Structure 1
Amino acid sequence: MRYLPHSEAERAQMLGAIGAADVDALFSAVPASALKSFSLDLPTHSPEYLVEAHMRALAGKNRAAGDGPFFIGAGAYRHHVPATVDHLIQRSEWLTAYTPYQPEISQGTLQMLFEFQTQVAKITGMDVANASLYDGSTGTAEAVLMARRLTRKSRIILSGGLHPHYRDVVKAYLKDDQDLICLSPSPEGQGDILDHIDVNTAAIVVQTPDFFGHLRDLQAAADAAHAQGALLIVVVTEVVSLGLLEAPGALGADIVVCEGQSIGNALNFGGPYLGLMATRKEFVRQMPGRLCGETVDAEGNRGFVLTLSTREQHIRREKATSNICTNSGLCALAFSIHMALLGEAGFVRLARLNHARAIALAEAVAAVPGVSVLNKNFFNEITIRVAQPAVGLVERLAQRGILAGVPASRLLPEAPEVDDLIVLAVTELTTESDIASLCAALTEELA
C-alpha cells in the first residue's frame, strides 16, 4: 500500500524534495503486481482486549511444526534447539549488545564472533569466515559479487539444483544482467553445469545437497571451474549436513555460503535467519561484512578486535565490498552456543542421526504404491514422484494433520515436469510413528 500526503501542496513538496517527477515515478521500481490501489478497509480503532482476542483467534488457525508429523524442509529445517541456547541469548549483555565499534568495552561480543568464525571455518573446511551475513540467499548474492571482483570476469552460472529463492535473490542483485546464466531445474539430478563453463566465467554456483536433495560432486566442479580460471561457490542450505559430508573446502570450493538456521535457531515463522560465509585466505580482502581477529594489548594480554570492516559504514562507499549494514549477531550467537554444546563429536552424531532418519523415510515411501524416490544419494531430504498432482495431495494430507513436505511446483511454478514432485525432509525430531503415518496416508490417498 503506498502512502502519500493528502494535500496536493504537501505531495508536490515531497516529490520535489526527492527529485521525483510524479507519483508513478516514485514507485517505478515496485512491480505493478505488488502495488495496491484499494483501501484495506481496516477499522479505525478497537479496544485492546478485542484486538488481542482477534489475534489469538487468527493464531489458532496455524498448525505449528510440532503439532504432528512434519516433513517440510526446502531450506528451513525443524531441529531440536536446547533450552540452554534460548536462556543464554536472552541474557541482557547479549540480547542488547550492538556493533562492537569500541573493542575495549566489547570484548565479550568480539570473542563470541571470533569463536563463531572459527566454528564456521572448521565445518566448511575454509581458511577464514566472516562475522555472518543476513541469510543464505543474500549471502549467495554477495558471494557472486565477490567472485566478480576477484576474477574481474562477469559470467555467473547458477546450477539448476540451486534453491529457487536463492536464485531469485541473485537475479534481483544482478537485475537484467545478460551474463547471469540460470540453468533449468534438474529433478532427476542429471543436469550438468560443467558443460557451460568457459574462459569468461567468473564463478559457478553449486548447491549440495541441492534443492531436490541430491548430493553433488564438488571436486569435479572445482576442477572444471579452475581449469577456466573461474571460482566454485558452494551453497549449503542444511548446515547439519557438514557434520557428515566432506567439507567443501577440502574438495576445492573457493567460497562457501550456508544457511545456519538449523543450528541454534528455530523455524520462527520464517526468520530471522543466519548467513554463513567462508573463503580462502587470499580472498579475504574481497569478503563482505566484518572479520573479528585475535590480538594482544600493550601488556601482552589476549584481546579481540574488528580486523576487517570492508563495508560502507566504515570506509568510502565506492571502496566498500558490500552495502550490508549489519550482521545477524543474535542468530550467530545462538548458532555458536548450540555448536559449542554439541562439540565436534555431537555435531557428527547429529548429522548421522538425520541421515539415518532419511534412509528410513526413503525405504518406507518407496514401498507405497504410486510413489517413486528420485534420489540415488541424499542427506536428510529426498524428492518423491507421486501418481497425481502434488499440490492437491499435500493439501489433503494437511487436512489429515500431516504436513507432507513441499510440492516442487510451489517454488518452481514455471518449471516443466515438476507438478507431481514433493520434496520431503526429516530431522532428528522425526519419529518412526511420523513416517508410518505419512506412508499410511499416502497409501490411502493414492489408492
Structure 2
Amino acid sequence: FLTSYTPYQPEIAQGTLQYLYEFQTQVANLTGMPVANASLYDGSTAMAEGVLMATRVTRRNKAVISGGVHPHYVRATETVVHAVGVETEALPAAVDAEADVIARIGPDTACVVVQTPNIFGTATDVTKIAEAAHAAGALLIVVVTEAVSMGLLKSPGEMGADIVAAEGQSIGNALNFGGPYVGLFATREKLIRQMPGRLTGETVDADGERGFVLTLSTREQHIRRDKATSNICTNSGLCTLAFTIHMSLLGETGLRKLALLNHEKAVATRDALAAIPGVEILTPRFFNEFAVRLPKNAAEVVDTLASHHILAGVPYSRLAPDAGLDDVLLVAATETTLDTDITLLAKALGKVLAA
C-alpha cells in the first residue's frame, strides 16, 4: 500500500483505496452482510448513523433501543439524532431482555436497536426480533461492541439484521486511552444508497487493469447538503489499515481460534468468581464478558482492589449512575488473560468481600 494518499484522487491513491476495499470485504464477511462502508469514527457514532439511516429508509421518526445497549452508545446516539428531531425510546437496563423491544414497536417505529453480546455480556439470537420489526415495517439495527465475538457467534446478517453498527477496536487497534477507534458499518444491498460514509468500489483503469475508486458518494462534501446521507467522514485511516492487516494475518481460522480462546478464558473466570460466597453470576450466555452481583457496592470494591494493583472490572454504575445497579460488576477476560490472573482476582475479591 505504497500510495497512502487521500482517496479522492485515485490516480495516486490506489494503495489506500485497495486496503479500504479489502477492509470493506472483511467487515461484510465478519457481519454476514452484503455490503460495508469504509468505516466510521467508532461504534457509538456508527449506531447513531444507523438510526438516522433507518429514518430516511422508512420515513418514520422513532427508534426503540433495548436495555442491553451500552449506555454510552445510547447517550451518543441521542445527542446526534435528537438534534434533527428524531425520537428515541430507551428501555430500562436489563441483563437478558433484548426481546422486550418487540412490545414497543409501533406504526411510527423506524428501527429497533439491540446489542449482542449486550452491555452485560449476554449473547442473544435476535432472529425473532428481526421478524417482528420487519412485520411492522421497521428495520433492525444490531450493535456489536466486541468485534471478535463475530468469529464465534452467529453473525448479525444471519439473524436478519438490516444494519450492523460495530466497534472494531479489538482487532488490530490499541485502547489508546479512549481513541481513535474504528467504527464498522454494514447493511443490505438494497439500502446501499442510504448508507453513510465512504464506499470504495472496484473498476478498471484506462489500460484495462484492476483498480479502485470511491463510488456512490453521498456525503455532504460531494453533493448538495440537503440531499446528503451524512456529513460524517471516515475514521482515522491508520485504524482501518491496522484492522485490515490484523484480520489478514488472522484469517478465518485464526479469528475463530482467537474467539474460542476469549470464551474459554471468560468461562474460567466465571467459574472462579462463582465459587466466592456472596457472588451471583447474572449473565446466562456470554462471549468474553459477564456481569456479577456483589454483596457490596461494586465501585467501592473496584477501588479497593485497584489500590492493590488489581483491576477487577467496571462497575455498572460508572456507565449508568442512575440505573440502580450499584452492586453490579462487569468482568471481561481476553486471550491476554493468564490463569494466574484469574486466580489472583478470585482470591483478592474473596478477601475484600469477606472483610
Gaps of 5+ in 2: none
Q: 2:68, 2:98 within 8 Å by CA — same for their partners in 1?
A: no
Comparing 293-302 with 172-181, which one deviates more in the overlay?
Answer: 172-181
Residue identity in the other structure for 1:208: T
1:158 maps to what in 2? 65
- 1:124 and 2:34 are equivalent in the alignment: no
Deviation at 1:158, TM superposition (A): 0.7
Separation (CA, whole Å) in 1 of partners of 2:40 and 2:53? 14
Separation (CA, whole Å) in 2 of partners of 1:188 and 1:301? 52
Cα distance change of structure 1 residues 190 and 109 upon mapping to structure 2, 3 Å threshold: closer
Cα distance change of structure 1 residues 188 and 292 upon mapping to structure 2, 3 Å threshold: closer
Separation (CA, whole Å) in 1 of partners of 2:275 and 2:28? 41
1:226 maps to what in 2? 134
1:179 maps to what in 2? 87
Deviation at 1:178, TM superposition (A): 7.1
Q: Which has the higher Rg, Structure 1 or Structure 2? A: 1
2:222 maps to what in 1? 314
Query: Deviation string for 1:341-381 (max 9, x for gaps)?
Result: 00010001000100111111111100011101001100000
Deviation at 1:188, TM superposition (A): 5.1
3-state DSSP class of the match of 1:382? strand
Cα distance change of structure 1 residues 139 and 196 upon mapping to structure 2, 3 Å threshold: same
- 1:426 and 2:333 are equivalent in the alignment: yes
2:40 maps to what in 1? 133
- 1:237 and 2:145 are equivalent in the alignment: yes
TM-score for the superposition, normalised by structure 2: 0.97
Residue identity in the other structure for 1:342: L
Aligned 1:248-267 pairs, distance under 5 A: 248-267=156-175
Q: 1:357, 1:380 within 8 Å by CA — same for their partners in 2?
A: yes
Query: Deviation string for 1:139-175 (max 9, x for gaps)?
Result: 1000000000000011100111000110001110123
Query: Deviation string for 1:387-432 (max 9, x for gaps)?
Result: 111111000000111111000011111112x110000001000011
3-state DSSP class of the match of 2:215? strand
2:17 maps to what in 1? 110
Residue identity in the other structure for 1:140: M
Deviation at 1:287, TM superposition (A): 0.2
Q: 2:69, 2:115 within 8 Å by CA — same for their partners in 1?
A: yes
- 1:347 and 2:255 are equivalent in the alignment: yes
Residue identity in the other structure for 1:127: P
Work out which of the residue numbers 166, 185, 206 in structure 2 matches 1:298.
Answer: 206
Identity %: 60
Q: Larger relative CO (CA 8 A, sep 6+): 1 or 2? A: 1
Residue identity in the other structure for 1:346: G
Residue identity in the other structure for 1:341: L
3-state DSSP class of the match of 1:192? helix
1:149 maps to what in 2? 56
Aligned 1:317-332 pairs, distance under 5 A: 317-332=225-240
Aligned 1:41-52 pairs, distance under 5 A: none
Separation (CA, whole Å) in 2 of partners of 1:276 and 1:157? 21
- Which runs of structure 1 show a deviation greater than 2 angstroms over 4 or more consecutive aligned residues? 174-179, 187-191, 325-328
Cα distance change of structure 1 residues 189 and 388 upon mapping to structure 2, 3 Å threshold: farther
Deviation at 1:215, TM superposition (A): 1.0
1:280 maps to what in 2? 188
Residue identity in the other structure for 2:77: V
TM-score for the superposition, normalised by structure 1: 0.77
Q: 2:282, 2:290 within 8 Å by CA — same for their partners in 1?
A: yes
3-state DSSP class of the match of 1:166? helix
Residue identity in the other structure for 1:198: G
Separation (CA, whole Å) in 1 of partners of 2:40 and 2:162? 17
- 1:194 and 2:125 are equivalent in the alignment: no
Separation (CA, whole Å) in 2 of partners of 1:425 and 1:433? 15
Q: 1:289, 1:327 within 8 Å by CA — same for their partners in 2?
A: no
Separation (CA, whole Å) in 2 of partners of 1:410 and 1:362? 21
Separation (CA, whole Å) in 1 of partners of 2:157 and 2:340? 38
Q: 1:155, 1:203 within 8 Å by CA — same for their partners in 2?
A: yes
Separation (CA, whole Å) in 1 of partners of 2:272 and 2:216? 50
Residue identity in the other structure for 1:210: N
CA RMSD of aligned residues (A): 1.4
Residue identity in the other structure for 2:302: V
Aligned 1:196-211 pairs, distance under 5 A: 196-211=104-119
1:368 maps to what in 2? 276
Work out which of the residue numbers 177, 195, 215 in structure 2 matches 1:269.
Answer: 177
2:343 maps to what in 1? 436
Q: 1:160, 1:185 within 8 Å by CA — same for their partners in 2?
A: yes
Deviation at 1:193, TM superposition (A): 1.2
Work out which of the residue numbers 287, 300, 303 in structure 2 matches 1:395.
Answer: 303
Separation (CA, whole Å) in 1 of partners of 2:81 and 2:112? 15
Separation (CA, whole Å) in 2 of partners of 1:244 and 1:178? 35
Separation (CA, whole Å) in 2 of partners of 1:395 and 1:335? 33
Q: 1:398, 1:404 within 8 Å by CA — same for their partners in 2?
A: yes
Separation (CA, whole Å) in 2 of partners of 1:294 and 1:401? 51
Residue identity in the other structure for 1:317: R
Residue identity in the other structure for 1:101: Y
